[in-house]
Amino acid sequence: MTTTTPTALPTEERVVRREALYFAVRNPKLVIGFSIVFVFAVIGLLGPVLLDVDSPNEYVAMPMLPPSSEHWFGTTTQGQDVFTQFVYGVRTTFLAGAIGGGIAAVIAMAIGFTAGYRGGLVDEALNMLTNIVLVIPTLAVLLIINAYLGIRSVGMQALLIGLTSWPWAARAIRAQTFSLRSRDFVDLARLSGVGTPRIIAREIAPNMSSYLFMTFILLFGSSVLIAASLDFIGLGPTEGVSLGLMLQNATQWSALQLGLWWWFVPPGAAITAVVGALYVANVGLDEVFNPKLRET
Amino acid sequence: MLKVENLTKVYKVGTFGGRTLKAVDAVSFEVPQGEVVSLIGESGSGKSTIGKMILGLIPMTSGTITVDGVPVRAGREYYRTVQGVFQDPFSCYNPVFKADRVFQLIKDSYYPSVSDKEWAERVHVAIEDVRLNPREVLGKFPHQLSGGQLQRLLIARALLLDLKLLIADEITSMLDASTRIDVLNLLAELKTRGLSVLYVTHDLSLGHYLAERTVVLRSGTIVEMGLTHKVFDGPLHPYTRQLLSSVPRLHAPWEDAAAVETCLYHERGGKGGLYEAEPGHFVACAQLDDCQGEPS
Amino acid sequence: MSLRVSDLRVHYRTLRGDVKALDGVSFAMDDGEILGLAGESGCGKTTLGKSLIRMDGRMRHIGGSVELDGRELPIGDDRAMNGFRFHEISLIPQYSMSAMNPTRRIGKMINELLRSRGVTLDREELERRIAQVGLPVEVLGRYPIELSGGQKQRVVMVISTLLDPALLIADEITSALDVSTQKAVAKALLDFRDRGYVKSMIFITHDLALTAHIADTIMVMYAGKLAEKAPTEELIKAPKHPYTKLLINSLPEIGVRFEERKLEGIPGSPPSLLRPPQGCRFRDRCPLASEQCVEEPPATEVEPNHYVACWKAA
């Protein structure tokens, strides 16, 4: 059959893809949002490589220096270079977002797809679990876990965030699956002898790929925020540096009172920019994928 | 061929299934080999539920369904011989894939060892069997094809298997008049190949055009069944008469439904089941339900 | 003369260009006339109905005019049309179930609706009309969810015609209903006309047999154009356009059986209205087509009130 050869991509498929791309590159929200995220991602990815320092927490210069050509973002009260910390912090932030958001997305998909497709008792049980996790005050639980277990690494922190932030996404995916599973093509796949996991993966999921993508973006953003909040209140990882830890240190050493604005403005602005840009891009994506929202 | 006995479906509604709803109530009928039987009913009559239960897409509450004497076990082997076509052709195709993917699913499940080249030939033959031009319909997305073409492709899909029984659930109700009749003719021709067809419909004239036997359903029970010409020319149940008188006919004005007389069979022991009024013509007791009421 | 549509052109804007859904349609309706608008999906019948009352965002009025009782309707101007809607022209939508606010009791909803239109409710008249369509007056105290599809459809019919509009547009209002309900709704429509609640009515449907029971005149459309328009009896018994003939011949009626008389469909499918072909649009599917059909046939009056757009019909 001609369809099985991927080389012969029919014109129409290209047209459909081009249509999404057409709106994507013309959507200012999407372009601006992703550009900002991209810039920070490049900083986090390449920055530490280019800076070539052993540890971002080294004492390298006089304390409390304002921004200069030597130290772009100035130094802390201990004489650490703020720019170096910032670059490493951005990397940590993306790591927290990717791991936390990724774990949450995987759990949300597993539970959402199963509950939505199976329905009945399975659905009610999973729904109950989701609702329980949903109403647990996540931050409080993380506080307790952090306080008792102590968190050393960024990865551990991201894992805990991922394990607690999936419920709303699971509910959304469940609702989508629920409406898709009543479509006749699911029945037709069953009549073709296709098993349940394959039906979910090959029939239902492709229909909500854009939706899943947006869910991941939102989970990524919220993981970044939660990680920053935890760091800020002193429950962040004890090793390394993150934007939230920078803020916490700045507060602890009274940067505001001492007028060391270069210490807390960059990390604060970066968190706001990354999360804000993700949300703006998400709105843009919504407009691209949902023809009804397209402004013609 | 197909034998349905005392088929019942009870839905549990409300949280934790607090209330029950009887959608199908002790329905028994047969579809002989090489015949079309039409299952006629209005919305809420349970006709589609019966079709879906025969296909094993929803579980039955009680009763038996046998095909050639073997009780139904939904699964890959069962679907080799029993297939379905549904009402909405656009909902039967996964919108993100090309329409001919339905053939690929059949190949993957049932004929994995057949070479691609031979399979392509078989698909061509099947498509020509349903009077379509393979070059016009292969390699296209569902939205690029018409409803009639899509329904015929689904019939072609079923023909690729060792089909014995086809459940056709309202397959023409979303098609235009000028293409609808071609799909109906195709169904009628299946029986000349020795296939059996259960044609589920709300449209009496279409059922009359096609079927050897007619089963009239109301609120989950059979009110009348028998050879089509007997049911249509001499309807015995007041509900059947009322249905027949409501059908708009092109060349004749609406006639008022015959007044509901007292049930002829009530005293002759027809209560609870079907009474054989003449050979091959069964009717339910009219006093068992409220058919004297105005339709709403 | 109650309604006069001349050379109406309405296009849909899409990414790939304009879809010429309605491409030069002219017809007139008398007072008291019920016009059955029939045709297959995509023929422009719903577009025509919508253009007369409310265009949606993608529709554009390209040309032509609509006159109701001598006044020209500003159909391209959504605001200016507000004065006409409900008062002069009213619509019964296809899915009346979604037309009603589920959180309001029906009586209260009608009251609010009328007030928003600057009219006070005549409760007695409302109750009389509810009774006329065969519903108990108690439905006014119920929520929409408590009513069946046919009951809701009839309630919406009453609401749409409360102000005695000159023109009522009924768009596929029976296609989601069961046959017996369908009959009741159709009879209620006829009754509305006979009592003068509406002056004239456009009944849009794909079901030719049903139209034949309601309409005085039937207009068959094909691919955005008028194919044939004639008094009901004449159109059913002596159609002149090849499309109408084939369409009528493809309808299975009770009495026709596959074994005895095999019906035939119309081969092919309607042309794309993105780039409609030159000349007669039915040409590709028409058994009578000839060279002449490359030129577009005008809708001509071959017999009194019988218009056909076909070179072979005259």
C145 in a structural domain: yes
Q: What is the mean pLDDT of chain A?
A: 83
The mean pLDDT value for A274-296 works out to 76
Question: Quick check: C13 contacting A, CB < 8 Å?
Answer: yes
C274 in a structural domain: no
The mean pLDDT value for C64-79 works out to 89
Across the interface, whether the CB atoms of B202 and C182 are under 8 A apart is answered: no
B291 — pLDDT class (breaks 50, 70, 90): very low
Residues of A in contact with C59 (CB under 8 A): none
C12 in a structural domain: yes
Q: Count up the domains in chain C and report the number.
A: 1
Residues 42-71 of C with CB under 8 A from A: 58
C268 in a structural domain: no
The answer to which of A143-147, A287-291, B1-5 has the lowest mean pLDDT is A287-291
Give pLDDT tens digits for B183-225. 999 999 998 889 999 999 999 999 999 999 999 998 888 989 9
Across the interface, whether the CB atoms of B86 and A3 are under 8 A apart is answered: no
Rounded Cα distance between A225 and A266, Å, is: 15
Give pLDDT tens digits for B20-58. 888 998 899 999 999 999 999 988 889 999 999 999 999
C100 in a structural domain: yes
Q: Which residues contact B216 (CB under 8 A, 6 or more apart)?
A: B40, B41, B222, B223, B224, B225, B231, B237, B239, B240, B243
Across the interface, whether the CB atoms of B208 and C254 are under 8 A apart is answered: yes
Q: At C60, which CATH number?
A: 3.40.50.300
User: pTM score, two decimals?
Assistant: 0.83
Task: Copy the structure tokens of residue B139.
Answer: 């390699």
Residues of A in contact with C58 (CB under 8 A): 296
Give pLDDT tens digits for C85-108. 888 999 888 777 677 888 889 999
Q: What is the pLDDT of residue B292?
A: 42
Does residue A295 carry a pLDDT above 50?
A: no
Task: Count how many pairs of residues, chain A against chain B, have C-beta atoms within 8 Å.
Answer: 81
CATH 3.40.50.300: which residues of chain B? 32-60+68-219
Residues of C in contact with B250 (CB under 8 A): 208-209, 212, 236, 248, 251, 253
Does residue B69 carry a pLDDT above 60?
A: yes
Across the interface, whether the CB atoms of A3 and B88 are under 8 A apart is answered: no
Give pLDDT tens digits for C122-179. 889 999 999 988 889 999 999 988 888 888 888 999 998 998 999 999 988 888 788 8
Question: Quick check: B49 contacting A, CB < 8 Å?
Answer: no
Residue among B16, B87, B95 minimizing CB distance to A207: B95
C233 in a structural domain: yes
The answer to which of A114-118, B76-80, B154-158, B177-181 has the lowest mean pLDDT is B177-181
Across the interface, whether the CB atoms of B248 and C265 are under 8 A apart is answered: no
ipTM, two decimals, is 0.85
Give pLDDT tens digits for C209-241. 999 999 999 999 999 999 999 999 999 999 999
The domain defined by B32-60+68-219 folds into: Rossmann fold (3.40.50)
